[in-house]
Amino acid sequence: MKLKSLLTAMAGLIACATPAFAAPVTWNLSATYNTGTTASGTYVFDADLRSFTNINIQISDGTAFTDINRFLLGNASRLIFLTGGPVVEGETREAIFSLEEMMTNAGGTISMVAYPAGFSLLGRCSEVCNGINGPYEFVTEGFVSTSPIVTDPVPVPAAALLFVPALGGLVAARRKLKS
């Protein structure tokens, strides 16, 4: 009886095994500010390495954000993007988006923490961008989301499919030894 239960459990585990995903995820960003300005675009975030790449965020006034603030370092729940090029005090624009949850490589949809509860805003860099100056525009609503993950899954090894017959062979050999 125990053997039958064990074999059934093992077969169920192998049949239900799912592949793992471990690739960085492309996130889509959408936000609206209190002035009517909007922000939209994409970036790639790797939660394992905590790194941002391929940043392409556009503000409806034509400003493009293509870099991450390396001084304040954004993280999985706070995005801090800069316009490209050298930082010029009072000219380089900075966009900060606070998220309700941390981003993961599993993807999903995460809302932004809107003003006044959250620190999601658009402003200009002070000094070497270790702060932010006004005039400010505050996010009133926004979110980040992912498209369905299309990376190739990590395959379940073929050897796993041979595990059940091998286990059965071991049990049969053990029975022969007992008799």
Q: pLDDT tens-digit profile of 84-100?
A: 766 676 678 888 888 99
Does 28 have pLDDT greater than 70? yes
Residue 178 has pLDDT above 80, yes or no: no
| pTM above threshold 0.75 | no
Q: What is the pLDDT of residue 16?
A: 54
128 compared with 55, residue with greater pLDDT: 55
Run of H or E including 5: helix 2-16
Single-letter amino acid, residue 115: Y
Mean pLDDT of 1-26: 63
Retrieve residue 63's tokens: 């400003």
Average pLDDT of the residues in 34-53:
89
Helix H, strand E, coil C: the string for 50-80 is CEEEEEEEEECCCCEEEEECCCCCCECCEEE
Runs of H (alpha helix) within 24-178: 158-161, 163-178
Please give the structure tokens belonging to residue 155: 């395959």
Structure token digits, residue 143:
């979110």
Examine the pLDDT at 128 and tell me if it is beyond 80.
no
